[in-house]
Structure 1
Amino acid sequence: MTNIAVINYGPQLDYPAMLPELAGSLQVFSHHELQNTEGLGRYEYVKDCEAVPYPELMIRRLARDKPFTHLVTDNEYDLERAARIREDLGIPGQSQASARSFRDKAVMKEVAGRTVATARFARLASIADLTGFIGKHAYPVVVKPVKQGGSRDIAVLRDEADLLAFSRRPWREDLMVEEFVEGPMYHVDAVLADGYRFVASSRYLRSCLGVFSGRNNGSLQLRPDDPFARRLEDFLDRVLDAFDTPDVSAYHLEVFHTPDDELVLCEIASRVGGDRIPALTRATYGVDLHTAVLRHSCGLPVAPPPSAPPAEVHGSVSILPQGRPVRAPGRPPFPWVHQYTVNEQLAPDAVTLYSASHLCFVIVRGADTAEVERRLLEAEAWLMENLEEVA
């Protein structure tokens, strides 16, 4: 009999809507409070769910009375925990070794380097390892934790002054360093299962690291019939050839396109992309990434992705918190605005903490990537000009 453990992160996920056939079989432990929980077999909001051991303890205890047939999570920070529980309880799905290869960025690059180009990198045990890497490969370099996400706690060191400033920060035991790769970054978002393949490619509007210097973040989709989108999809396949992949998974791949036309892996995660990626995918393709991977993971039917190219593609830009009391304006007055959302949970004087931080965001539509980019920049300019100071 079906019994499904869910370790949830996303505040907007609606499990009864995504899995109506199995809602009563879902035992949900959630990092955020969910709105629609009626009909679930069990639901608990767990404060700091991704960091505390309570959900793992409870899943193991519940399994004594009724074994779980599936264990799923939408959260990158729970992938290894979920894999460990699966292996211990004999639940099919992603293994611990597979989860670690997608979570630990140093292991990830070691694995991916078998089939694609990656930046040169090294783990860091001390500041001497960092200066040794710089001495060998020169500036600029990127220093980051091996299991962090959302561009949190990343430092770009461009010269000795940056190195000295970095040396005044508390040292972490989970750091790595890699070469800084020039060029725009693209992302590829996919759900792959037996008999099902959905892949969509996009370009970041600006570097995700730019948010920490005040540059708004966003992305814009490529048309699937764009030759470069096909090249990115092929790159995804070559990356995955190097990994032990589960039978069902979503993937979020980030790729640099260098000035000499080389594709270089930045990172790949075995989960749905964050920020506005799911909303953009729904708008263009009618595919809900979370629903698709969840239903496949539970052995339920999923409508095939569209085979014809979409009439339009979409893009988004997020206006960053300004670090001073401001209020987001109303909806931009353009007919091609698809969605406009204000972050009502944000304090008026909030600062940017990670790449998905936002005061508000807008999604626009267009016939192709170039038109979407022009419209994104126009909407961004209008929003910035109409921010309201709060007394």
Structure 2
Amino acid sequence: MTKIAVIDDGPKSDYAAMLPELAGEPHVYGHHELAGTEGFAPYEHVRDCEFVSYPEPMTGCSAAADGSFTHRITDNEYDLERTARIRQDLGNPGRSPQSALSLRDKEMMKRTTEQTAPAARYARLETVSDLTGFVAETGYPVVVKPVGQGGSREIVVLHDDELVEFARRHWRDGLMVEQSVEDPMYHVDAVIIAPGYRSVASSGYLRSCPGAPAGEKASSLQLHPEEKFAARLEEFLDQVLDAFATPEASAYHLEVLHTPDDRLVLCEIASRVGAHRIPQLTRATHWVDPRRTRLRQPVGLPVPSGPAEAPEQRGSISVVPQGRPVGAPPRPPFERIDHYEVNQAPAPGAKPANSSSHPCFVTVRGADLDEVEQRAPQAESWLMANLVEPAEEAAGTVAGEVIRT
């Protein structure tokens, strides 16, 4: 009998729906207090799950004694190393701890790919002297980031004269610096299962995620899979993955820079499904649910394929709170809005700290990329003009509402 232990990071995860054949079997240790957990076996909310060791012995050592768990999985990037250690200790197949670390530590990640794919210049930081030396060699702007964070958390872009102010902050361990490249950025989201299954969706950012803490909207347009540049991005994904020891089944979120001299340059790659609006955008454009696909194959369940041809193209727009108390606006009154969803995670008015700090997002439909590029700014302008101020925030909007036309 299949019994799976899941270390979960999704506040709206529904494993019973994603794994209906295993109804009642998943043992879930969650970062969040989930509603509707009747389809799970034991469910336990673990406070500070990322920072405590409790899930490790519960899904590892205790299970080894009676052989109760046949699979141990996570859909959380920050738990990759933990689940890899458990698998190695118990002799289970899957990604090794070293492979997991190479995809979590951003400086190690770039060092690993040096032989297969170019990256912007970078360095690990032990002291502020390392930072000043890097700036002296490369000039401004530079990007300082923690090697183990994600979602644009704690990223700082330094321009002229901002180094002094940065030096007033508390220094923390585990930092790196890289040359800031002001080029268009793309993201490639893939689920790859050997042998034979491959789903790859390429998108271009209208604005990059690092701008989210400053109040910029995180938006992207999904490329048609038959476009030449989409094929080129997929080839670059393979080029990057050639540097890593990869398991038979995994998901990847790759960020790529396109330079003025027509080169592709690695920004980052993570072994996870793209966050927040990206799975919705992929489902709408490719008819593939990347999270569901990623979770089903490792536990031996069949994986449905998408259509032979992609439907109309789509783009997504996430609106961030701009650092003042606001709520999600009403549903945009446009037929071209495919999906509208209110984000229940951040508190209204919370200062944006990462790329997930948005009260809502929409996906916009068009016959081709040009049409989506025209429609997306119109939807964005309407949303920004209709943000709900605290005094008005009584009616609200139903989370997860889907509009299909």
Which TM-score bucket, shorter chain as reference? over 0.9
1:154 matched to which residue of 2?
155
**Rounded Cα–Cα distance in structure 2 between residues aligned with 1:207 and 1:328:** 21
CA contact (8 A) 1:315 1:364 kept: yes
2:387 matched to which residue of 1?
387
2:369 matched to which residue of 1?
369
1:356 matched to which residue of 2?
356
Residues 6 and 327 of structure 1: CA distance in aligned 2, closer, same or farther (over 3 Å): closer
1:9 matched to which residue of 2?
9
Answer yes or no: is 1:28 the counterpart of 2:28: yes
**Rounded Cα–Cα distance in structure 2 between residues aligned with 1:31 and 1:347:** 17
Residues 344 and 67 of structure 1: CA distance in aligned 2, closer, same or farther (over 3 Å): closer
Write the deviation string for residues 83-119 of structure 1: whole angstroms up to 9, x where unpaired.
0111111121111011011101111101111111101
Write the deviation string for residues 41-71 of structure 1: whole angstroms up to 9, x where unpaired.
2211212222221111211223312243211
Spell out the pairing of 1:89-104 with structure 2 (5 A cutoff).
Answer: 89-104=90-105
**Rounded Cα–Cα distance in structure 2 between residues aligned with 1:51 and 1:135:** 37
Write the deviation string for residues 153-178 of structure 1: whole angstroms up to 9, x where unpaired.
1111122x111011011111100111
State the identity %: 61
Residues 340 and 165 of structure 1: CA distance in aligned 2, closer, same or farther (over 3 Å): same
**Rounded Cα–Cα distance in structure 2 between residues aligned with 1:24 and 1:324:** 43
Give how far 1:277 is off. 0.5
**Rounded Cα–Cα distance in structure 1 between residues aligned with 2:8 and 2:342:** 24
Give how far 1:26 is off. 1.7
Write the deviation string for residues 111-154 of structure 1: whole angstroms up to 9, x where unpaired.
11111110111111101111111122222211111010011111
**Rounded Cα–Cα distance in structure 1 between residues aligned with 2:136 and 2:327:** 47
CA contact (8 A) 1:201 1:222 kept: yes
Give how far 1:217 is off. 1.1
**Partner AA of 2:315 in structure 1:** G
User: Taking structure 2 as the reference length, what is the TM-score of the superposition?
Assistant: 0.93
Spell out the pairing of 1:293-304 with structure 2 (5 A cutoff).
Answer: 293-304=294-305
Once structures 1 and 2 are overlaid, which stretch shifts more, 343-352 or 253-262?
343-352
Answer yes or no: is 1:313 the counterpart of 2:301: no
Give how far 1:356 is off. 1.4
**Rounded Cα–Cα distance in structure 2 between residues aligned with 1:255 and 1:228:** 12
**Rounded Cα–Cα distance in structure 1 between residues aligned with 2:31 and 2:334:** 36
Give how far 1:260 is off. 1.4
Give how far 1:346 is off. 4.1
Once structures 1 and 2 are overlaid, which stretch shifts more, 238-247 or 356-365?
356-365
**Rounded Cα–Cα distance in structure 1 between residues aligned with 2:383 and 2:180:** 32
**Partner AA of 1:248 in structure 2:** A
Write the deviation string for residues 9-42 of structure 1: whole angstroms up to 9, x where unpaired.
0112211111122233321111112233224222
2:224 matched to which residue of 1?
223
Residues 227 and 80 of structure 1: CA distance in aligned 2, closer, same or farther (over 3 Å): same
1:266 matched to which residue of 2?
267
Aligned to 2:37, the other structure's residue is in SS state coil
Aligned to 1:87, the other structure's residue is in SS state helix
**Rounded Cα–Cα distance in structure 1 between residues aligned with 2:140 and 2:344:** 41
Residues 266 and 345 of structure 1: CA distance in aligned 2, closer, same or farther (over 3 Å): closer
2:165 matched to which residue of 1?
165
Extract unaligned runs of 5+ from structure 1: none
Aligned to 1:205, the other structure's residue is in SS state strand
**Partner AA of 1:96 in structure 2:** P
CA contact (8 A) 1:70 1:92 kept: no
**Rounded Cα–Cα distance in structure 2 between residues aligned with 1:70 and 1:239:** 28
2:251 matched to which residue of 1?
250
> RMSD over aligned Cα, in angstroms?
1.5
CA contact (8 A) 1:255 1:264 kept: yes
**Partner AA of 1:193 in structure 2:** I
1:189 matched to which residue of 2?
189
Write the deviation string for residues 273-329 of structure 1: whole angstroms up to 9, x where unpaired.
102001111111221111101111112111223322x22121111111133233332
Give the count of matched residue pairs.
Answer: 389
2:117 matched to which residue of 1?
116
1:127 matched to which residue of 2?
128
Answer yes or no: is 1:343 the counterpart of 2:343: yes
1:322 matched to which residue of 2?
322
Instruction: List, as ranges, runs of 4+ consecutive aligned residues in structure 1 with deviation greater than 4 Å.
Output: none
**Rounded Cα–Cα distance in structure 2 between residues aligned with 1:67 and 1:86:** 14
